[in-house]
């Protein structure tokens, strides 16, 4: 059975210009042609334009009535619009040398990223005991928004000089930052919550968890799977595996957040287990001919982008094997290569089986070798260990 989304109903689709033209025709006909001057500066035209404007304003608000009714209904059910959340991370401070007394980083100490645009503030004082050279403390973004979800080793700039402080860095990515919801997103989430008041099916659990973690997150629910993930079945168990919106396995704070919000909605006798989604890095090797006239740097970037898009863990079905022919197909679609001579994934020219239903692939690297019409071979590694320049054999 095929389906399509419902379309919004416009109670009256007429625009102001259409109302004015129809009004002019009606006035002309009803007056027997006596009122026929509808030029821009005529009194009759001015009156009709004013009435058309008033009518268009009324129709605009009438057309908003269905949306207003939905919003008021969701307000009654307790749905609120999210104004976004702040990203969090853990900062590690390192001293030049061990100190003889406790070294304190004050609460609210500001650290910025490499660009100097995104600030994080420590959540509590950090005390580094005598004899030690480093310590870690959590920090929260200055503002809400997904822009504060930054990569590891990018939050490194202390804005205030501290004697004996050597460096500060985030060894893990900052996560949890979300943008403010639009009205449409709030309505969609609110209606989904109404459908998922009680969690019964695997899809119920997955949608509920993804709503909590935000757009781009992935959840996989497996029934009867025990906490230790062994093949033995556990009656009443539901094991939920989570990938956050940053395409990373959910951290402990996010797991606790999902557990706290879902615990009151599970059925009596159900035991809910939650674990991070597992990722399988995929390294690819490609040898192909370069299409004559194609720009080398653009082809390289297009191939890497296509490789990443296909293996994007946010959109890839959990547990589904990585199919060699599908990877090749997406690389060919870039249009910059022909005659693929070799394509291997994780050093094997075969499909990559995923070990279980709670594992997703993630693009780790792609070693690209392209041969032009003159026989020159251009090589570059994209992804982890990415080389800065092309080199030619």
Distance CA(200)–CA(208), nearest Å, equals: 11
**Element (H or E) spanning 279, and its range?**
strand 278-290
The residue ranges of every structural domain in the chain are 16-77, 86-170, 198-276, 279-383
Q: Which CATH topology does 86-170 take?
A: Elongation Factor Tu (Ef-tu); domain 3 (2.40.30)
- Which two tokens mark 369? 């070798």
DSSP conformation class of 171: S
pTM: 0.59
134, β-bridge pairs: 94
Start-to-end CA distance of the chain, whole Å, equals: 55
**Element (H or E) spanning 61, and its range?**
helix 43-63
Q: Are strands 110-113 and 119-122 parallel, antiparallel or unpaired?
A: antiparallel
pLDDT (tens digit, 0 to 9) for every residue of the chain, 393 residues total?
355 655 666 666 767 778 778 877 887 787 887 777 777 778 877 787 778 787 777 888 888 888 888 888 888 888 888 888 999 999 999 999 999 999 999 999 999 999 999 999 999 999 999 999 999 999 999 999 999 999 999 999 999 999 999 999 999 899 889 898 888 888 888 887 776 667 889 999 999 999 889 888 999 999 999 999 887 788 999 999 999 988 899 998 899 999 999 988 888 889 999 999 999 999 999 999 999 999 999 999 999 999 999 999 999 999 899 999 999 999 999 999 998 999 999 999 999 999 999 999 999 999 999 999 999 999 999 988 554 444 455
Q: How far is CA 5 from CA 2, 21, 112, 384, in A?
A: 11, 34, 44, 40
Q: Say which residue the tokens 């997703």 belong to.
A: 360
Q: What region does 371 belong to: left with phi over 0, alpha with psi -120 to 50, or beta?
A: beta
380, β-bridge pairs: 368
Q: Say which residue the tokens 């009596």 belong to.
A: 268
């Amino acid at each position: 059975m095929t389906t399509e989304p419902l379309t919004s109903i416009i109670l009256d689709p007429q625009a102001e210009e259409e109302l004015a033209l129809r009004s002019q025709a009606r006035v002309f006909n009803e007056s027997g042609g006596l009122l026929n001057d509808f030029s821009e500066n005529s009194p009759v035209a001015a009156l009709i334009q004013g009435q058309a404007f008033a009518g268009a304003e009324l129709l605009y608000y009438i057309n908003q009535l269905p949306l207003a009714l939905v919003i008021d209904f969701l307000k009654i059910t307790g749905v609120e619009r999210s104004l976004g959340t702040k990203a969090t991370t853990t900062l590690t401070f390192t001293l030049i040398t061990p100190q003889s007394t406790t070294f304190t980083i004050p609460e609210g100490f500001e650290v910025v990223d490499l660009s100097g645009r995104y600030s994080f503030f420590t959540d509590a004082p950090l005390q580094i005991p005598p004899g030690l050279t480093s310590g870690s403390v959590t920090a929260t973004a200055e503002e809400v928004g997904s822009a504060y979800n930054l990569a590891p080793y990018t939050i490194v700039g202390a804005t205030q000089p501290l004697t004996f402080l050597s460096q500060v860095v985030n060894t893990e990515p900052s996560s949890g930052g979300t943008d403010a919801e639009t009205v449409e997103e709030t309505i969609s989430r609110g209606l989904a919550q109404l459908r998922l008041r009680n969690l019964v099916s695997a899809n119920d659990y997955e949608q509920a968890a993804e709503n909590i973690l935000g757009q781009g997150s992935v959840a996989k629910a497996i029934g009867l799977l025990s906490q230790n993930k062994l093949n033995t079945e556990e009656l009443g168990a539901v094991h939920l595996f989570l990938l956050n919106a940053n395409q990373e396995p959910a951290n402990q704070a996010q797991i606790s957040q999902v557990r706290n919000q879902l615990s009151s909605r599970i059925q009596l006798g159900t035991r809910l287990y939650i674990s991070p989604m597992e990722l399988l890095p995929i390294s690819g090797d490609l040898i192909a001919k370069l299409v004559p006239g194609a720009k080398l740097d653009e082809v390289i970037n297009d191939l890497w982008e296509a490789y990443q898009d296909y293996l994007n863990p946010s959109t890839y079905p959990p547990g589904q094997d990585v199919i060699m022919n599908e990877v090749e197909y997406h690389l060919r679609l870039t249009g910059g290569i022909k005659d693929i001579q070799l394509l291997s994934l994780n050093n094997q020219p075969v499909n990559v089986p995923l070990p279980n239903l709670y594992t997703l692939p993630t693009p780790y690297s792609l070693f690209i070798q392209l041969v032009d019409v003159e026989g020159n071979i251009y090589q570059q590694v994209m992804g982890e260990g990415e080389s800065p320049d092309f080199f030619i054999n």
